[in-house]
Amino acid sequence: MTSQPRDILVTSALPYANAPLHLGHMLEQVQTDIWVRFQKSRGHHCLYVCADDAHGTAIMLSAEQAGRSPEDHIDTVREDHLRDSTGFLIAFDNYYSTHSEENRHWSGEIFSRLEAGGHIGLREIVQAFDPEKGLFLADRFIKGTCPRCKTPDQYGDNCEACGATYSPSDLIDPVSALSGATPEDRASTHLFFHLAHFQDLLTAWTQGEHLQPAIRNKLREWIDAGLQDWDISRDAPYFGFEIPGHPGKYFYVWLDAPIGYIASSQDYCRREGEDFDRWWQPGHSTELYHFIGKDIVNFHGLFWPAMLQAAGLRLPTAIYAHGFLTVDGTKMSKSRGTFIRASTYLEHLDPEYLRYYFAAKLGSGVDDFDLNLSDFIQRVNSDLVGKVVNIASRCAGFLRKKFDNQMSADCAEPELVQQFIAAGEGIADLYEAREFSRAMREIIALADRANQYVDDRKPWVMAKEEGREQEVQAVCSVGINLFRALATYLKPVLPAMVGRAEIFLNINLDWQQLQQPLLGHTLQDFKPLLQRVDPAQVEAMVEAGKS
């Protein structure tokens, strides 16, 4: 049985509004969406909010290059992002933008509380300045010759040829990547967040159960090395929010990005008439979970809790990080066609193939995830088409032809059916713990048992023998009941396929209702639930990725 209903707010990291989504983004969104759909299937009030991360110099420059305003640019990108996420069946309860009045309000409010608490300081720093573009340059906007291996045309923070890391001032013959001008050193006063003020809070917080062990250890390394002040301001021109009380200074994008979680949930609550305060003010029983990539744990595991604490807001219940996506064992590559955009995938393949493959390999840790394309084809075809769907298609034909889609009034194998139903609690525990790969193994093991049951009873043989019609109906009805349990457990992963199964089964597959077998139940005509993966389509997707 399920526990008391919970109130759960879930986020995934905000995609940057400067480029299309790729399969790395989809790994995170699919992982989050599966967990959210599972929570809802168990009867919990679970919200999934996200937004586009819409500020920064890079967006300002991209808009300029595209010949449109930053506002038009981020609106266009947001529509593209939401279209691709929807294509992968990501069911956001709200998808917003950090360029919103709610985000402006909360960024200013949180900053004011930090400043009032004495956690903000001023300091003059020297930066590279592009005299032609009239703006300060981030490291990635400076190019030059590597000081170690002398390879030309390297960015200002690391060399792609030899792997050296350095500061832009170390480059030989540095130039602005934007204009080609030689950068000048200029001084500017910046605002800094004194993160070290929260040493005790962060030491205690990172020792709790809020983080995976590997992430906890990484954050402790940073804490033990001494927390550094965090530069939270940028100079005009900059696309973002101007800092209250500091004309010409703008919030660094990483300050207002996580505040976008607050803004998106506030927009949802206003629209749906929900109490916003119970999600973000302390003292409520609501839960808050962030799903992120392991490359941004410092922002979410150090800066974010400190900001929330200083502002008098609640801290996350937990932060769940995942590893990077590789394709066929290597970093995603445009030349090999393995840097695959979400839209490119959707033009060639069913999104549920990838949703299942991600689920079949995702655990609760932070290991990198490899999309092995030949394994992807084999796994989906074998597990889903060859095992799960096969049970329904084998049994449905006999019930339609001989029994007008009517199932038996009695259950011929009550013990077996109950074993499948009882397995749901263990599978639910694995979903809850984000051990999706183990959950899929349990489900496919049950599918093997169901297929073995049908193989052992051989309804195709009985159907040819006079007087055994009721046995055929009984065996196939048991098979359909076993399939019903499997489809229910797969619904968080495969909502569209299971939606088609619900039409066939003539019932809503609700985890809450899976206590008794279907008896004397009338089915609809069976229609194919999922096609096999065609290797030619995978090859076509890779070729499209190259262009």
C-alpha 195/C-alpha 227 separation (Å) is 6
On whether both 131 and 259 belong to a single domain, the answer is: no
pLDDT at residue number 448: 98
Write out the two tokens for 480: 């359909």
Helix (H) or strand (E) holding 174: strand 172-176
Write out the two tokens for 213: 């062990």
On whether both 95 and 126 belong to a single domain, the answer is: no
Outline where 273-341 has alpha helix (H).
Answer: 277-280, 297-298, 304-310
- Comparing C-alpha atoms, which of 300, 293, 111 is closest to residue 205? 300
Find out whether 99 and 54 touch, Cβ atoms under 8 Å: yes
On whether both 366 and 302 belong to a single domain, the answer is: no
Last residue of a domain, one of 301, 322, 343: 322
* Bridge partners of residue 8, in order along the sequence: 46, 287
* C-alpha pair distances (Å), 460 with each of 394, 402, 412, 431, 475: 9, 12, 17, 37, 11
* CATH number of the domain where residue 174 is located: 2.170.220.10
Is there a domain that residue 546 lies in?
A: no
Please give the single-letter amino acid code of residue 377.
Answer: I
Is there a domain that residue 519 lies in?
A: no
Per the omega criterion (within 30 degrees of 0), is the bond before 282 cis? no
Helix (H) or strand (E) holding 109: helix 101-116
On whether both 74 and 171 belong to a single domain, the answer is: no
Please give the single-letter amino acid code of residue 258.
Answer: P
C-alpha 499/C-alpha 529 separation (Å) is 9
Helix (H) or strand (E) holding 7: strand 7-12
Torsions phi, psi for 243 (to 5 deg): -80, 125
Please give the single-letter amino acid code of residue 252.
Answer: Y
Write out the two tokens for 216: 């906890």
On whether both 408 and 316 belong to a single domain, the answer is: no
* CATH number of the domain where residue 371 is located: 1.10.730.10
Is there a domain that residue 531 lies in?
A: no
On whether both 36 and 183 belong to a single domain, the answer is: no
* C-alpha pair distances (Å), 539 with each of 27, 67, 176: 20, 35, 39
Is there a domain that residue 402 lies in?
A: yes
* CATH number of the domain where residue 28 is located: 3.40.50.620
Strands across the sheet with 94-97, in order?
A: 94-97, 45-52, 7-12, 287-293, 318-322
C-alpha 463/C-alpha 270 separation (Å) is 60
C-alpha 307/C-alpha 264 separation (Å) is 18
Last residue of a domain, one of 322, 342, 367: 322
On whether both 435 and 499 belong to a single domain, the answer is: yes
pLDDT at residue number 140: 81
pLDDT at residue number 282: 97
277: left (phi over 0), alpha (psi -120 to 50) or beta: alpha
pLDDT at residue number 163: 81
pLDDT at residue number 3: 66
On whether both 25 and 169 belong to a single domain, the answer is: no
Digitized pLDDT (tens) for each residue of the chain, 547 residues in all? 446 899 999 999 999 999 999 999 999 999 999 999 999 999 999 999 999 999 999 999 999 999 999 999 999 999 999 999 999 999 999 999 999 999 999 999 999 999 999 999 999 999 989 899 888 888 888 999 999 999 999 988 788 888 888 888 889 999 988 889 999 999 999 999 999 999 999 999 999 899 999 999 999 999 999 999 999 999 999 999 999 999 999 999 999 999 999 999 999 999 999 999 999 999 999 999 999 999 999 999 999 999 999 999 999 999 999 999 999 998 887 778 789 999 999 999 999 999 999 999 999 999 999 999 999 999 999 999 999 999 999 999 999 999 999 999 999 999 999 999 999 999 999 999 999 999 999 999 999 999 999 999 999 999 999 999 999 999 999 999 999 999 999 999 999 999 999 999 999 998 988 999 999 999 999 999 999 999 999 999 999 988 7
Torsions phi, psi for 444 (to 5 deg): -70, -30
Is there a domain that residue 538 lies in?
A: no
pLDDT at residue number 1: 45
First to last CA, the chain: 51
Positive or negative: CA dihedral 209, 214, 215, 220: positive
Give the CA radius of gyration of the chain.
Answer: 27
Write out the two tokens for 257: 């990005």
Is there a domain that residue 240 lies in?
A: no
Find out whether 349 and 530 touch, Cβ atoms under 8 Å: no
- Give the contacts of 467 (CB within 8 A, at least 6 positions apart): none
Four-CA torsion 370, 373, 378, 381, nearest 10 degrees: 100
On whether both 111 and 73 belong to a single domain, the answer is: yes
Produce one character per residue of 149-181: b if its CB has 16 or more CB atoms within 10 Å, e if not. Answer: eeeeebbbbebeeeebebebeebeebbbbbbee
pLDDT at residue number 429: 98
Residue 481: Cβ within 10 Å count? 28
On whether both 371 and 439 belong to a single domain, the answer is: yes
C-alpha 301/C-alpha 44 separation (Å) is 26
Is there a domain that residue 431 lies in?
A: yes
On whether both 368 and 451 belong to a single domain, the answer is: yes
Query: What total number of domains does the chain contain?
Result: 3
Write out the two tokens for 166: 């350095």
Is there a domain that residue 528 lies in?
A: no
Domain that holds residue 474: 351-513
On whether both 87 and 29 belong to a single domain, the answer is: yes
